[in-house]
Structure 1
């Protein structure tokens, strides 16, 4: 099938699957097949642990004694750079997937998410200590840069063959006798940690010879500020209206007040950014990426100007719409690591329709902007607990022994009563079971 025909088929797929949340996991998988988001064999493989077993786990990490699962869901309604997308998310916290889907639907009213991403640059650091002359060392490194880049590329022929390779050498002064050399490497669809670490170790003797210093640490940095993603969205004020808040402009202004709160107060900014990372991390976990590295880099980036700030910006647009932007460093991969060994990760990447690491980074960032918007809207209107407690009620119902459709029935009753105790859930369950049994006599 030609690329044009594949693209035509993709255009016809919609990320809007009405009533999806109300259906059973089995029916949801069937709908993904019907909508051509999943092949039948991939849908069947999603059941249970999705083909992930102890043998696979034992290859991935040390001292394996078993498996630990997380729910895998899909966020709906995403339109990214004009293309409908489903977003796989693996997360234990209730409301995150629902929040992302809801906010994505609001953003779709304004055309969806627009994503721009830098080239996939991974940076290795070589620490040089006891440098006798910083000025002479910097000049020697400047003059030797072409040879150093060529030497680095000679160490990674496979990466260079894929279009990647060493792009730049940067020198930074840390104190009176300490330099750090940054080697910026385009690692294509891999995160490139092992590769750049190896290259840094191999280049260190050359750097020592040029500078007269002593080599210290040789390792990548997780502040991937050469690998940033920027995502924007706009929401018409009318789309923000609800039954309780009928003037969308009032909701917009309340969201802007919440944004300003995060800009002024570090305590709020941390929680604000946690809302961003709710979406980003869930996508990265589903797709087998190093979410811890991205978290560390994101929070460092939030403090790059000396004070900790929100990663997002929200403002009023020229037509009264709500406009938002998220920018953060986001190093991702779609090859190697878990993508090579974990069958569930492979299916998540397929479901996301990723074209490579840069595309995956953009999708994760769109999810982050969506979860941030959903949190700000909830906090500015009904409060965050309304949605949380509705989903918490389902957990309590399941804990009390409910299954199938009884989970929803018990959860609805708990929510109406605003009582979320397991003992109350058991009382309601016993009464409902007795009622049904009585009706069958």
Structure 2
């Protein structure tokens, strides 16, 4: 029986057009989006002008893909938008290790969003608290009347709760509305519902509404991705692999006790998550805000992943839980040609599937970073790709870029001055050859 060719072998060495051709021939892209990517069709300025104020143009960022993802038994190639060198390569490397060990298992713990109406100047705040709970059904019905289309789609307002806050001589009553927003991120839905119940809540509580707003702390929209890695994929030497696995577990523990490390630990996770969220046209700022808030939900800011080494079975186990209120419809998703191409590459997932993919990317990104940090260090991989950026910045073109990048990685100092000097030497040699 003929072995199926690995289409990703040497993928990074191929030209952009060859990569797009491979994606098309293997059903990751249809004809329309293949042509769009070949011709680099991006967001038109006339659309950009309608979705953002004072528009003067558009800003392009690199769009790449991370293959090798096996999530809940399905294979995915994940589009990522990022300008930082080595992120996509590292993510792909980690995904391959995890997928070779059985892949990621991801589950939606819940998918609801929360909005809040904040009230103040309440004479009897304890009584107001009780009234909110007593009028729960009326409040929910009023909220759903404010956005009937989401109810028709099987979603809508589902729960109400309240909490009292005190600050010096001021007291606040925050009323939380939980809503099933289906495939949308839900900001417009929830904000409309909150406006719809504002006057009712003022009447019920006798207070004044300070504000109504969606919360980006999406603790009712949690997703968990987990994996088990056979440590043979960490190193060919079993003793070295055991040592690496133990160090990754320790690094995970340290990120939960030191805030300086936790911030960078989590930033690395969001290197991957943000890149996918941008590629699929969602609000990466909202996702980051919710993620960092969740990292501090215990009262102390901690690293978001947990890695443990099962020494008996020689398995490294990883887990990441995050709020992931991602959308598959709405916003600029249907307006941006590159975003539509990204969805095509992902097989047009619904919101829940997309959330599972994104959190799995975060887990893979973290594994790659930790493995690098506890072994060769993170700088080596960064410098290799940074050298290419430096080569381009000093004016290297064509074959000069790879030659200069290689010389820079071998040089004692990687800086602008040395890059200019080496480029002159390369050009002198090339002219002699010609």
Secondary structure at the counterpart of residue 264 of structure 1:
coil
Check conservation: 1:60, 1:341, Cα contact below 8 A.
Answer: no
Question: Quick one: distance in 2 between partners of 1:371 and 1:389?
Answer: 18
Matches within 5 A, 1:334-349: 334-349=328-343
> Equivalent of 1:322, from 316, 324, 335?
316
The answer as to 2:364 corresponding to 1:373 is no
The answer as to 2:164 corresponding to 1:173 is yes
Moved more, 134-143 or 255-264: 134-143
1:190 equivalent in structure 2? 184
Check conservation: 2:229, 2:315, Cα contact below 8 A.
Answer: yes
1:257 equivalent in structure 2? 250
* Structure 2 segments unaligned to the other structure (5+ residues): none
1:296 equivalent in structure 2? 289
Q: Deviations over 1:239-297 (max 9, x none)?
A: 11168x97211111111121122122111111111111111111111111111111111
> Equivalent of 1:305, from 294, 298, 301?
298
> Equivalent of 1:111, from 93, 102, 105?
102
Secondary structure at the counterpart of residue 111 of structure 1:
coil
* Structure 1 segments unaligned to the other structure (5+ residues): 1-12
Question: Quick one: distance in 2 between partners of 1:214 and 1:435?
Answer: 77
Deviation at 1:179, TM superposition (A): 1.4
Runs of 4+ with deviation above 4 angstroms: 13-16, 426-440
1:64 equivalent in structure 2? 55
The answer as to 2:358 corresponding to 1:364 is yes
Secondary structure at the counterpart of residue 412 of structure 1:
helix
Question: Quick one: distance in 2 between partners of 1:439 and 1:134?
Answer: 85
Q: 1:164 to 1:391 in 2, by over 3 A?
A: same
Secondary structure at the counterpart of residue 36 of structure 1:
coil
Deviation at 1:15, TM superposition (A): 9.0
Q: Deviations over 1:12-43 (max 9, x none)?
A: x9996111111221211111112211123312
- The TM-score with structure 1 as length reference comes to 0.91
The answer as to 2:265 corresponding to 1:276 is no
Q: 1:106 to 1:292 in 2, by over 3 A?
A: same
Check conservation: 1:119, 1:358, Cα contact below 8 A.
Answer: no
Question: Quick one: distance in 2 between partners of 1:152 and 1:369?
Answer: 37
The answer as to 2:124 corresponding to 1:133 is yes
Q: Deviations over 1:47-82 (max 9, x none)?
A: 465232211210110001111111111111111111
Check conservation: 1:303, 1:309, Cα contact below 8 A.
Answer: yes
Matches within 5 A, 1:37-76: 37-47=28-38, 49-76=40-67
Moved more, 412-421 or 367-376: 412-421
Secondary structure at the counterpart of residue 62 of structure 1:
coil
1:81 equivalent in structure 2? 72
Question: Quick one: distance in 1 between partners of 2:5 and 2:176?
Answer: 43
> Equivalent of 2:202, from 199, 208, 222?
208
2:23 equivalent in structure 1? 32
1:408 equivalent in structure 2? 402
Deviation at 1:164, TM superposition (A): 1.1
Secondary structure at the counterpart of residue 167 of structure 1:
strand
Q: CA RMSD in A?
A: 2.1
Check conservation: 1:234, 1:322, Cα contact below 8 A.
Answer: yes
Deviation at 1:208, TM superposition (A): 1.4
Question: Quick one: distance in 2 between partners of 1:72 and 1:47?
Answer: 12
Deviation at 1:438, TM superposition (A): 4.2
Aligned pair count reads 427
Check conservation: 1:120, 1:189, Cα contact below 8 A.
Answer: no
Question: Quick one: distance in 2 between partners of 1:221 and 1:405?
Answer: 50
